[in-house]
């Protein structure tokens, strides 16, 4: 059993990962400022697992408050999810993104160093690959970013690579997530976006539940079989499991490692829509709209390195993801707010 600090542990991926850690017998401490989440997610994780989580309501950008967590707990590792993640919003308010995502990480590194906590998993994103030269995408592909959100992820990766060179006692996993969707099978925890969702699956489930009128499919003239964009959708519970595998790797004293966390399968927007219609049991209204700026035609992972080095392999299908996304939405039409 290890003592794991999870920053942003009340959020979408964080809450599912906290549950996976508790189920593996680890002790979990969460730090979250609830800027994009609700403490109800933590209560529900406790309900599903039958275990308690220690919570600090704290902003990782506040060094003094954040230090308390390290003073009061002897930690074995940190999983750092805390961050702002909306691409469009990052274009409108870039300073907020740079400030939040960078300062929180710099504070974390200072504290980990000071308190001798040497194992870190960081939430990076497939966004760091920009438009890849080909698919599937391998970890050694060139990195390009095109918006402030993506730049914060790449800057943090660069910071961690620099930091690792001069702090060889640190073990750091850069985890590049592809497109997490779905929810825990209990239907008690899931994705609860603020306002109108930006992402495909929460948008579709809100159309299905009657909160939104129709899905706009952004572009049907891409060079893909049905003209819509292709992504690597991964069940959030698989992604959570990927963190458990990455932690095991950190405890082998691995230095800095980088892994894609994806399935290796690409699905188009229309294929996802069909899977969701099957799960919901009725047609979902949609209309083709112009392309969304910044979207790339196809993005999916090579999952081979993560499989070979940490034994991670996604097990859920697109139909499982659709079923669980819908189960969460229909049981929680207003998300955690009721």
Q: Residues with catalytic annotation?
A: 149
Among 127, 263, 265, 327, binds ligand UFG (CB under 6 A): 127
Interaction with ligand NAD in 91-120: which residues (CB under 6 A)?
A: 100, 104
Measured in degrees and rounded to the nearest 5, phi and psi for residue 241 equal: -60, -35
d(CA 98, CA 57): 21
SS3 195: coil
- By the 10 Å C-beta count (0-12 exposed, 13-18 middle, 19+ buried), 137 is classed as buried
Min CB(25)–ligand UFG separation in Å: 31
Helix axes 200-208, 318-331, angle to 10 degrees: 50
Among 29, 77, 79, 82, binds ligand NAD (CB under 6 A): 82
- By the 10 Å C-beta count (0-12 exposed, 13-18 middle, 19+ buried), 321 is classed as buried
β partners of residue 286: 215
Beta carbons of 80 and 120 less than 8 angstroms apart: yes
Of these partners, ligand NAD, ligand UFG, none, which one is at the site of residue 292 (CB under 5 to 8 Å by kind)? ligand UFG
Is residue 11 a contact residue for ligand NAD (CB under 6 A)? yes
Give the nearest residue (CB) to ligand NAD.
11
- Which region among 53-61, 163-171, 212-220, 280-288 touches ligand NAD (by CB under 6 A)? 53-61
Among 26, 28, 56, 81, binds ligand NAD (CB under 6 A): 81
Return the number of the residue (204 or 245) whose C-beta is nearest ligand UFG: 204
Min CB(151)–ligand UFG separation in Å: 11
Is residue 263 a contact residue for ligand UFG (CB under 6 A)? no
Beta carbons of 128 and 145 less than 8 angstroms apart: yes
Is residue 77 a contact residue for ligand UFG (CB under 6 A)? no
Q: How far is CA 4 from CA 28, 86, 183, 213, 316, in A?
A: 5, 26, 22, 42, 26
Is residue 231 a contact residue for ligand UFG (CB under 6 A)? yes
Is residue 269 a contact residue for ligand UFG (CB under 6 A)? yes
Listed residue (254, 201, 203) closest to 231, CA to CA: 201
First and final CA of the chain: distance in angstroms?
35
Total residues binding ligand UFG (CB under 6 A): 19
CA–CA–CA angle 306, 311, 315 (5° rounding): 90
Is residue 260 a contact residue for ligand NAD (CB under 6 A)? no
d(CA 187, CA 120): 30
Is residue 87 a contact residue for ligand UFG (CB under 6 A)? yes
Residue 156 contacts by C-beta under 8 Å, 6 or more apart in sequence?
101, 102, 105, 122, 124
Return the number of the residue (44 or 176) whose C-beta is nearest ligand UFG: 176
Interaction with ligand NAD in 123-162: which residues (CB under 6 A)?
A: 123, 125
Return the number of the residue (4 or 79) whose C-beta is nearest ligand UFG: 79
Beta carbons of 206 and 212 less than 8 angstroms apart: yes
Is residue 37 a contact residue for ligand UFG (CB under 6 A)? no
Is residue 327 a contact residue for ligand NAD (CB under 6 A)? no
164-199 b/e with 16+ CB inside 10 Å = b?
A: beeeeebbbbbbbbbbbbbbbeebbbbbbeeeebee
- Which region among 2-10, 158-166, 291-299, 304-312 touches ligand NAD (by CB under 6 A)? 2-10
Is residue 61 a contact residue for ligand UFG (CB under 6 A)? no
Q: Give the interface with ligand UFG as residue ranges (CB under 6 A).
A: 85, 87, 125-127, 179, 198-200, 203, 215-218, 229, 231, 269, 292, 295
Q: Give the interface with ligand NAD as residue ranges (CB under 6 A).
A: 7-8, 10-14, 31-37, 59-61, 81-85, 100, 104, 123, 125, 177, 179-180
């Amino acid at each position: 059993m290890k003592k794991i600090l999870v920053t942003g542990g009340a959020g979408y991926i964080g809450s599912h990962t906290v549950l996976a850690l508790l189920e593996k017998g680890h002790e979990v401490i969460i730090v979250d400022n609830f800027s994009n989440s609700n403490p109800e997610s933590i209560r529900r994780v406790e309900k599903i697992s039958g275990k308690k989580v220690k919570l600090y309501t704290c902003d990782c950008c506040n060094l003094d408050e954040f230090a308390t967590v390290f003073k009061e707990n002897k930690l074995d590792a940190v999983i750092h999810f805390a961050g702002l993640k909306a691409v469009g919003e990052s274009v409108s308010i870039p300073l907020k993104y740079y400030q939040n995502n960078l300062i929180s990480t710099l504070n974390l590194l200072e504290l980990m160093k000071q308190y001798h906590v040497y194992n870190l998993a960081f939430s990076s994103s497939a966004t760091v690959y920009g438009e890849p030269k080909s698919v599937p995408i391998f970890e050694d592909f060139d990195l390009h970013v095109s918006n402030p959100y993506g730049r914060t992820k790449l800057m943090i990766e660069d910071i961690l690579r620099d930091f690792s060179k001069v702090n060889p006692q640190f073990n750091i996993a850069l985890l590049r997530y592809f497109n997490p969707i779905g929810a825990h099978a209990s239907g008690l925890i899931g994705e609860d976006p603020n306002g109108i969702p930006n992402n495909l699956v929460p948008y579709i489930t809100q159309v299905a539940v009657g909160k939104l009128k129709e899905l706009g499919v952004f572009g049907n003239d891409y060079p893909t079989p049905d003209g819509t964009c292709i992504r690597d959708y991964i069940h959030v519970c698989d992604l959570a499991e990927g963190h458990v595998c990455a932690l095991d790797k950190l405890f082998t004293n691995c230095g800095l490692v980088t892994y894609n966390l994806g399935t290796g399968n690409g699905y188009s927007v229309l294929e996802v829509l069909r899977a969701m219609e099957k799960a919901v049991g009725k047609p979902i209204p949609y209309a083709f709209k112009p392309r969304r700026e910044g979207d790339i035609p196809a993005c999916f992972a090579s999952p081979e390195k993560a499989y070979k080095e940490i034994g991670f392999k996604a097990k859920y299908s697109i139909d499982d993801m659709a079923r669980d996304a819908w189960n969460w939405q229909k049981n929680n039409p207003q998300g955690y707010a009721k």
